[in-house]
């Protein structure tokens, strides 16, 4: 009789364990909390701080203590400190990573942000850290080479960049329109974007535009309502340093 009872208990325990729900691993995404997009390149002054928001969003699965998601950086350049350097929490959560540079060497550095859970494969996000001058317009001071693709022509020219104030670049001979044409380019160092407000910039040139840049190249889409020849044109202009 005892053997029968033991067998029945064993069979019941097996059946109970089989009926237990299989715990699925946590599913999540890691995005930028502002733009809700994957991790992108960031720009940090050689002496300054950049705040990188990482949003870990719960999608499905369980949300127990064992389902924490850990974020960790690798490849951070010398003289750049990340605070906090690692974070572990149950999603959904948002972390503000402060990247502070102290006399960091200017350049482009490949960096990886990796997320881990107790089970499952890690998620890897590769991006670049651009260490730039505190005034990012300084990237383009001096002689710069221009290549223009316009509505009715394509040509090259040389221009000169100089300071117009913090993160403002003045380009002399912009678009090859002459040395009396000085165009104001406003740079957003945190979003690698730029814009040119509409104005009369000299030598009969009226234009406006916008574009993007990195540490040695800027691409500007602009429309000139007048040019020295008296006409108008729309161009994509690439400057390299």
Domain span(s) for CATH 2.40.128.420 in the chain: 136-240
The model carries a pTM of 0.63
Cα–Cα distance, 163 to 169 (Å, whole number): 5
- Residue 239's contacts (CB-CB under 8 Å, 6 or more residues apart) are 140, 144, 145, 146, 159, 161, 171, 217, 218, 220
In order along its 241 residues, the chain shows pLDDT tens digits of: 545 444 444 444 544 444 445 567 788 999 876 666 667 888 888 988 888 989 999 998 876 767 899 999 999 999 999 999 999 999 999 999 999 999 999 889 999 999 999 888 899 999 999 898 888 899 999 999 999 999 999 999 999 999 999 899 999 999 999 999 999 999 998 778 999 999 999 999 999 999 999 889 999 999 999 999 889 999 999 999 9
Q: Please provide the distance, in angstroms rounded to a whole number, between the alpha carbons at the two ends of the chain.
A: 91
Nearest residue to 187 (alpha-carbon basis) of 156, 159, 215, 206: 215
Stated length of the chain: 241
CATH number for region 136-240: 2.40.128.420
Which DSSP letter does residue 66 get?
A: G
Domain span(s) for CATH 2.60.40.3450 in the chain: 25-132
Asked if 181 and 172 count as a contact pair (C-beta separation under 8 A), the reply is: yes
Question: Hey, what CATH topology would domain 25-132 get?
Answer: Immunoglobulin-like (2.60.40)
């Amino acid at each position: 009789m005892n053997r029968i009872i033991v067998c029945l208990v064993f069979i019941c325990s097996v059946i109970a364990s089989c009926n237990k729900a299989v715990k699925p691993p946590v599913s999540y995404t890691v995005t930028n909390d502002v733009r809700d997009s994957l991790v992108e390149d960031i720009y940090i002054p050689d002496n300054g701080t950049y705040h990188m928001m990482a949003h870990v969003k719960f999608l499905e699965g369980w949300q127990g203590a064992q389902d924490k998601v850990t974020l960790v950086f690798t490849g951070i350049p010398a003289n750049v400190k990340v605070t906090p350097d690692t974070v572990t929490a149950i999603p959904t959560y948002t972390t503000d990573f402060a990247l502070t540079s102290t006399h960091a060497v200017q350049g482009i550095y490949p960096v990886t942000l990796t997320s881990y859970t107790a089970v499952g494969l890690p998620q890897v996000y590769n991006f670049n850290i651009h260490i730039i001058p505190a005034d990012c317009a300084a990237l383009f001071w001096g002689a710069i080479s221009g290549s223009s693709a316009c509505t009715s022509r394509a040509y090259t020219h040389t221009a000169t960049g100089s300071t117009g104030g913090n993160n403002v670049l003045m380009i002399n001979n912009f678009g090859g329109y002459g040395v009396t044409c000085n165009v104001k380019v406003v740079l957003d160092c945190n979003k690698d974007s730029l814009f040119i407000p509409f104005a009369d910039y000299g030598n009969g040139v009226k234009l406006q535009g916008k574009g993007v840049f990195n540490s040695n190249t800027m691409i500007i889409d602009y429309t000139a309502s007048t040019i020295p020849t008296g006409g108008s044109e729309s161009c994509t202009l690439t400057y390299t340093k």
